[in-house]
Amino acid sequence: MVIGVDIRLLAKGNPSGVSWYLRRLLDHLVVVDEENHYVLFFNSWHQPPLFLKDWASRPNVTVKIWRWPNKLLTAALLFARRPRLDRLIGGCDVFWSPNINFCSVSKQVKFVATIHDASFIRYPEFFTAKDRLRYRLINVARYVRRADRVVTISQSSRREIVRTFSYLADKIAMVYPGVEVSAAAAPINGLPDRFLLTLGTREPRKNLLGTIMAFEELRRRGPDIDLVIAGGQGWHNHEVTRHLGRSAVRNHIHIVGYVSEAQKHWLYQQAAAFVYPSWYEGFGFPPLEAMAANCPVVSSIAYGTAEISGPAALLVAPHRVDQLAEAVELALGPQRERLINQGRQRVADFSWSAAAAQMKKVFADVCALS
């Protein structure tokens, strides 16, 4: 069986979230599944990333690299529904799109689409106007109707997607991703000895303002601790910037920006606790990554974060700053050892090898459909 995979999203720099999901899953998929052949479709005007050579060196992988301007390709897929991506890569039995994107495949080719969550429908305010327009132009309803199988990454996401697209109930599969933290640790200079950590792209959905306000409340309660904010610059951060400028504890807040995998691992190792009160996640990798590094976690009861963290984190309502501060205080003191121990146990439930084996079965099941 030949499986085509759309890896265009890997052309973006500073990978996070969905792009890390794809990289890690493919790393394991091409090892677990030596029976099938994978043809990876990459397109970018810029030079392809070096890690594509690692995949291309395997006998069961072919990497097809195109250098078309993405705006031109997008326009062609949007208005002409051409080129057929399966034909562009030389043909395949199944074509997998690991994120919602402009896509067109031949009728006889089985199509598998991964939808990570339904936040673009449930919470459009968490997206830029450009992103909202993009989803509208893709026409997600038509996109998922074309799919022979839809894959999502948590039971919470599955429920949300079926609630929106009820006709998907019989053709949606849930495959948990794995968790993996870099074995290397690269220190970041200039940070205090004791700090809380929050990590993620700085955008409204991550509730960074709530984290900062809870930190202010925590400092008023007495703990002498700093806050480190790590993650790439997102959008709509002016309210956070204004709040930081007038915060009484701004000298105890450190913004380090986007961090490498090794730097991220070091932060998890050094942090006294990890704070992640996101408004909405399909899965949410950072809490599990923190648990894997023996860092106690305070997270959100909202959707996927509660499901994934389970009893291994202290869960609070994202809008309750007082509860968040209280939970952090518990994670620093009486609940610390319990959270660390249960975090280690929880991480064991998520394996990239298991996810790869399940995806292999999804492809086999789809190919067997009449």
**CATH classification (class only), 2-178+351-367:** alpha beta
pLDDT at residue 223, as a whole number: 87
Pull the structure tokens for residue 295.
């860092």
Question: Above 80 in pLDDT, residue 303?
Answer: no
Pull the structure tokens for residue 29.
């998929």
pLDDT at residue 105, as a whole number: 97
State CA 160 to chain mean position distance. 17
Residue 7 banded pLDDT, cuts 50, 70, 90: very high
Among 93-102, 163-172, 178-187, the range with the most confident prediction by mean pLDDT is 93-102
Pull the structure tokens for residue 305.
């974060």
Question: Above 80 in pLDDT, residue 122?
Answer: yes
What strands lie across the sheet with 226-230, from one edge to the other?
A: 253-257, 226-230, 195-199, 273-276, 297-300, 314-316
DSSP 322-336: HHHHHHHHHHHTTTH
Q: What is the mean pLDDT of residues 248-270?
A: 95
Q: What is the pLDDT of residues 64-94, one digit of tens each?
A: 999 999 999 999 999 999 999 999 999 999 9
Mean pLDDT of the chain: 94
Kindly report the number of other CB atoms within 10 A of residue 134's CB atom.
16
**Sequence-ordered list of residues with C-beta below 8 angstroms from that of 11, at least 6 positions apart, any chain:** 42, 43, 44, 46, 48, 49, 70
**Sequence-ordered list of residues with C-beta below 8 angstroms from that of 347, at least 6 positions apart, any chain:** 179, 288, 291, 292
Q: Give ranges for CATH 3.40.50.2000 in the chain.
A: 2-178+351-367, 195-347
Question: Above 80 in pLDDT, residue 235?
Answer: no
Q: What is the pLDDT of residues 20-59, one digit of tens each?
A: 999 999 999 999 999 999 999 999 988 899 899 999 999 9
Closest by CA position to 310, among listed 103, 108, 156:
156
pLDDT at residue 41, as a whole number: 98
Q: What is the pLDDT of residues 308-366, one digit of tens each?
A: 998 999 999 999 999 999 999 999 999 999 999 999 999 999 999 999 999 999 999 99
Per CATH, is 195-347 categorized as 3.40.50.2000?
yes
State CA 272 to chain mean position distance. 24
pLDDT at residue 194, as a whole number: 97
Q: What is the mean pLDDT of residues 287-307?
A: 93
